[in-house]
A and B are shown apart, each in its own frame.
Chain A
């Protein structure tokens, strides 16, 4: 069934529903919260067996990689569904960083001739290798890129602790550098979001030169920006999944929890807050699907669709997580209850890949609604 015009396809296909079922069943079986908490406190938050099952077993890591390069040749729509599920379960997995941002950046570097880029992409697609782009997690698609001087510390690089390869922006292009190589340091920081570890990364001049140059400076900048734009667009789906879980769990809890001889969910003050949240979640789904579809069809509307999704879904996820904590009452403040993991993920995702405010500023340009004192675009 096609729509009348070129309207975006905002629904889920049967293939996407199947993929969702596979990912959810994997995460339900193995992604349990107490274990995740134990790992987070041990400083090694990743369940590597789970990552192997997701990345290689289900083939999720290669969704964005074309089949000739060993991937699934699927699209951003399918990757978005995987991210919804990872958001629902606040799974610690380098999916957004490696399988989306790094992968998309590499796809922009020229994959011909079976060269280094193609080899690295194949390794990422198979889930054998994890690569991350060495920029702060907060870097938005239009933000200044980090200091590329060799030896400069790059802070808040997400998932660097588990990465085999860093994609490093040098003066003359993009380099692939092994994290284990001499002259590379990855120093763990204490992250707000326990499920997305952050590190300070330094790569000295010799390590950079010893790495593999993947693209020249011009190509590299375009590729990195495209990777960040894609990451921002698909992060909306992770935020959607997170918000959805927070709402469902809050509804479940308030139906069961009794105070004043009634389920607390029967009090209108609470019902209206949850109904409002539901409105936001269904709206976030439309925004996130729109961004995923725009990316999948490579439409000219990508920048606007991504900016709208990020300006909206980040706020919704934070609101959902905050309501989840509040409407759980005291238990929502405890370490044992997973609500805090969702709040921490939501708040840090709101900053990741450009803040709500920075995406609104991009929209002001894209929609020709300039700030005072600026000429109309």
Chain B
């Protein structure tokens, strides 16, 4: 058994850098070479961007590459692909799917989006009503035939840029809602996919509505077994929450940064009441940052804790309270807004715009990726082991549920 250790990874990283010096290599070419060397995500299998090495050793590669000025893929731009589609394809995809999709995803050649939420299925995602019906095929139940998808999805970031989507659709309405769902990879350029901007509270359209009308998906683009879509989707959702709470921050690195700077530079705005609130929030922001650091250290030694879902809750509340305080601190300026022009930003930059934008955008933090109320239930039931909410939808066919 030749286990790959830190020294071996360091050697391979240096070989990569020697063969493709970052200064003389196109960033995209470097990223492709890095993937092919198995240094993209070292815990992935060999040939799929990894080397079957322990996940904790990725930091060895990252440190070497960062020190050499090597280009990185932009994890914010391709976050859904990297953070959600990739682990799901790795966990449930066929060999052919893994070979087809992972490399362009990691390099950033192909942007991904997520077709999960629907107007009638948000927090209660498993209630979704988008239908996929099998057509043709050679088997008795149409096995092997294409799927025809009809329905409407919502809150889809990057849909207007995406080449591919992960999609869940209902394939058997006669089963209870968690069971008749199947997971697909949807070609966003296929006929019948209609992407429309969804203008939101900030004035811009960061998200989209996606209308699916007779969209044809080959059975080869199904991920996991027919009817197993909920199980597959849970892998995606778990990774979504980790990636939402997971960014590493320096001190004052989040929302507390701009308001602290304003406080230091504008003594005329200070009041005692705001001072008390600012200090209390500064402490909470610093403690949330340390909690994230502790979670990363736990992951690095292979002892992940359940703190991830907690961090998302903490940051959602803090972002809202801090940005609300910032608008108040600005007084007359807080009455103004920088720009209501309808835009379609490629990246969501939570802190780059002004206080009013931060205040409004942060309202989404407690809704997107699971509402705070639902996450508190999950913490209570899965982490603390408290009894589950009583429910009457578990054994009822989806078609018979109230809508």
Contact = CB atoms under 8 A, between A and B. Distances in A.
**A interacts with B:** yes
B279 interface: yes
Interface residues of B, number: 49
B271 interface: yes
Interface string A286-316: 1101100000000000000000100110000
Given A11-B298, A276-B376, A363-B279, A286 B293 contact: yes
Interface string A256-276: 000000110110101110111
B384 A1 contact: no
Contact of B290 (A263, A286, A376): A286
15 contacts: A8-B290, A266-B390, A272-B376, A279-B310, A279-B313, A283-B310, A285-B294, A308-B287, A308-B290, A312-B284, A360-B280, A360-B283, A363-B283, A371-B270, A376-B267
Contact of A308 (B272, B286, B384): B286
A8 B293 contact: yes
Contacts of A289: 290, 294
A312 B298 CA distance: 22
A271 B280 CA distance: 25
Interface string B350-375: 00000000000000000000000100
Contacts of A9: 297
A3 B385 contact: no
B390 A364 contact: no
B291 interface: yes
Contacts of B286: 287, 308
Interface in A49-88: none
Given A271-B376, A282-B291, A360-B280, A255 B275 contact: no
A371 B310 contact: no
Contacts of A368: 264
Interface of B: 56, 59, 62-63, 260, 263-264, 267, 270-272, 275-276, 278-280, 282-284, 286-288, 290-291, 293-294, 297-298, 300-301, 305, 307, 310, 313-314, 373, 376-377, 379-381, 383-390
Interface residues of A, number: 47
Given A266-B390, A360-B283, A372-B272, A283 B291 contact: yes
A227 to B, nearest CB: 24
B282 A271 contact: no
A184 interface: no
A290 B377 contact: no
B389 A371 contact: no
A266 B288 contact: no
A371 B272 contact: yes
Contacts of A268: 377, 389
B306 to A, nearest CB: 8
A270 B275 CA distance: 32
Contact of B283 (A1, A11, A312): A312
Output the residue of B300, B376, B389 with the most chain A CB within 10 A.
B376
B287 A287 contact: yes
Given A272-B380, A283-B288, A376-B267, A265 B387 contact: yes
B270 A367 contact: no
A7 to B, nearest CB: 6
A262 B294 contact: no
B293 A7 contact: yes
A302 to B, nearest CB: 15
A368 B282 CA distance: 12
Given A1-B301, A265-B386, A278-B383, A369 B290 contact: no
A50 B338 CA distance: 65
A254 interface: yes
B290 A287 contact: yes
Contacts of B377: 268, 271-272, 275
A287 B278 CA distance: 18
A369 to B, nearest CB: 6
A247 B305 CA distance: 17
Given A266-B386, A363-B279, 20 more contacts: A1-B56, A10-B290, A11-B294, A265-B387, A272-B373, A272-B377, A272-B380, A274-B386, A282-B307, A285-B291, A286-B291, A286-B294, A289-B290, A311-B283, A312-B283, A364-B279, A369-B278, A369-B282, A372-B270, A373-B270
